[in-house]
Amino acid sequence: MITAHPANSGAATDTNPTHAIRTNARYQPEVTAVHYAGGDLTYAALNDRVARLTTVLAEHGIGDGDRVAYLGLNSPAFLITMFAAMRRGAIYVPLNFRLAGPELVAVLERSGATIIVCEEGHREILDGVADRTPLKGFLLVDDDPETPAARVAGPWRAWSALLDAAKPADAAPARGFDDPAMIMFTSGTTGQPKGVILTYGNLWWNGINVDARLDTRRGDITHAVAPLFHIGGLNALALRTLVRGGTVVLRRGFDPAGLLRDLLEFGVNSLFAVPAMLAALARVPGVFDRPLPALRTVVVAAAPVPPSLIELYAEHGVTLQQAWGLTETAPFATHLPVERTVDKLGSAGIPMAHTEVRVIEPGTGAVVPEGVSGEIVVRGPNVTPGYWNNPAATAAAFDDEGWFHSGDIGYLDADGYLFIVDRLKDMIISGGENIYPAEVERALADLPGLVDVAVVGAEDPRWGETVVAVVSAGEDTALTLELVRDHAAATLARYKLPTRLEQVATVPRNASGKLDKRAIRAMIAEGGSGQA
């Protein structure tokens, strides 16, 4: 019989990431935590800023469970605010920097955030709606050369002066697996954004899953250019890298040539990107002229990945590892092992080490046979407990056995590898046939001259819906409906081929790199120069 030591009996695991920052600052103070154009931060400097902001939050009345919002692009201030909120025991609410005023009001009201840290570039829009939000404290980032601030006035307080005057707070409350760490709002591509509760356990277990499946190591250099307010940008690799004492090369926005320079200059080991980023990188002149031996782990997710893109990089010695997940799964539910990238081309992989995945028949919930498409459901400790103050949405997303219904359509092959087909709500029904836009998009991805493509359904008096392709092309490239149909016909049945074509300068995407299907449908509904 084994008897537990009294000191350990009932002890809870502390999963608060801010403790790792403090530990790294003690044992490797001069190691660079963040490379940033506006100035680098060592772990000692990062921890000091976090500790001082923790005191500032306390002085503003922020305590356990209160919500702290952040509005701005990728920057050290984003990370400092997150870790300070965690050190104070508050809940972090990173906001989409592309939201319009009314959308900000809705998100802030739903979160109940009472204090916000904001960059200068977003102050004006927030000023216009602040009186309709629960906000009481306004901190303006005024010491970042990348986002210089004008005169601090009105309700705003200069964050630099507050931090300089604050005494560092070292203590942080222990957090358990079930304690909420942050609220991340969904992109709202299928309706109003919902506040996804991510617990410390959700963040922790995703990190354990990453360690188990991906070739990431202590001391890695990770590139972070995907927006941090999205779970992929933050928790795929960046947060785990900081917890393990590595270095994050942090960029405010995506620049293909800049990304190539960073990969070469810093010897980046790991990278999270969306397909559109990697497609743009592939068009940079000379991108494949020099090898990238340090780059071991390139995870691509958040949108369907064209097999042609994976093949292109593989030909030049860079293996793209497709993954699948959502904000609600923190973010990874599946990952394609690097050694299977070629023979399982196009697959989103196998379940993460501590995550279960099934494919079921929508409506009945019955598990479908291999090779048959259905809704993907997920269960595991990385899955959100639900939506903030939204019991109806939570109840709709989970079944009685705790399976989260993703709304994504996919199938498992004979070896148990997942293939994503499309979003359930994006499916087109034409003449009684189910057509998945993502399948058509993949068929067109390698069309010569094509830069980007989206496929949506439009009303049709004869067939109910018809297939519309919205494309952008390179300079001096004029695509025609005939060219598009002929290219797609090599791999698709004729009933799936586009019957209408719209060529635009840029295909709308949201900040996470996903196609903005609502905006695209609105564009189609307004008419245009489509070719029928």
Domain boundaries, the chain: 17-175, 195-423, 427-525
The pLDDT of residue 430 is 83
Distances (CA, A) of 139 to 23, 75, 87, 162: 27, 15, 18, 9
Strands (E), 251-388: 270-273, 297-300, 320-325, 332-335, 350-351, 356-360, 374-379
User: Averaged over 67-86, what is the pLDDT?
Assistant: 98
Instruction: Give the pLDDT confidence of 153-203 residue by residue, as tens digits.
Output: 889 999 999 999 999 997 778 888 999 999 999 864 445 779 999 999 999
The pLDDT of residue 87 is 96
Residues of the chain above pLDDT 90, percent:
73
The pLDDT of residue 95 is 96
> Which of these, 104, 82, 75, 248, lies nearest to 181 by C-alpha position?
82
Instruction: Give the pLDDT confidence of 490-503 residue by residue, as tens digits.
Output: 888 788 899 999 99
Q: Is the pLDDT of residue 129 over 60?
A: yes
**CATH, domain 17-175, list 3.40.50.980, 3.40.50.2300, 3.90.930.60, 3.30.1490.20:** 3.40.50.980
> Which of these, 96, 94, 29, 18, lies nearest to 54 by C-alpha position?
18
The pLDDT of residue 191 is 52
User: Averaged over 279-298, what is the pLDDT?
Assistant: 94
Average pLDDT score, the chain: 91
Report residue 360: phi and psi, to 5°.
-125, 165
Say how far apart CA 429 and CA 464 lie, in whole Å. Answer: 7
Name the band, by pLDDT with cuts 50, 70 and 90, for residue 480.
very high
CATH superfamily of the 195-423 domain: ANL, N-terminal domain (3.40.50.12780)
The pLDDT of residue 4 is 45
- Tell me if domain 17-175 and domain 195-423 are identical in fold: yes
Q: What is the chain's alpha carbon radius of gyration, rounded to the nearest angstrom?
A: 23
Name the band, by pLDDT with cuts 50, 70 and 90, for residue 304.
confident
Rounded to two decimals, the pTM is 0.85
The pLDDT of residue 1 is 44
CB–CB of 28/90 below 8 Å?
Answer: no
CB–CB of 311/323 below 8 Å?
Answer: no
CATH 2.60.40.420 fits 427-525, yes or no: no
Name the band, by pLDDT with cuts 50, 70 and 90, for residue 13.
low
Q: Among the listed ranges 42-56, 186-200, 446-460, 518-532, which one has the minimum average pLDDT value?
A: 518-532
The pLDDT of residue 380 is 98
Pair of tokens at residue 163: 């931090």
Q: Is the pLDDT of residue 24 over 80?
A: yes
Q: Is the pLDDT of residue 126 over 80?
A: yes
User: Averaged over 294-314, what is the pLDDT?
Assistant: 89
User: Averaged over 358-371, what is the pLDDT?
Assistant: 94
The pLDDT of residue 9 is 36
Q: Among the listed ranges 89-98, 188-197, 200-209, which one has the minimum average pLDDT value?
A: 188-197
Identity of the amino acid at 450: L
CB–CB of 509/515 below 8 Å?
Answer: yes
The pLDDT of residue 239 is 98
Q: Among the listed ranges 26-30, 133-137, 167-171, 523-527, which one has the minimum average pLDDT value?
A: 523-527
> Which of these, 437, 523, 450, lies nearest to 483 by C-alpha position?
450
The pLDDT of residue 10 is 39
The pLDDT of residue 423 is 79
Q: Among the listed ranges 183-187, 285-289, 295-299, 309-313, which one has the minimum average pLDDT value?
A: 183-187
Q: Give the CA dihedral 468, 192, 199, 303, nearest 10 degrees.
A: 10
Name the band, by pLDDT with cuts 50, 70 and 90, for residue 6.
very low
CB–CB of 348/420 below 8 Å?
Answer: yes
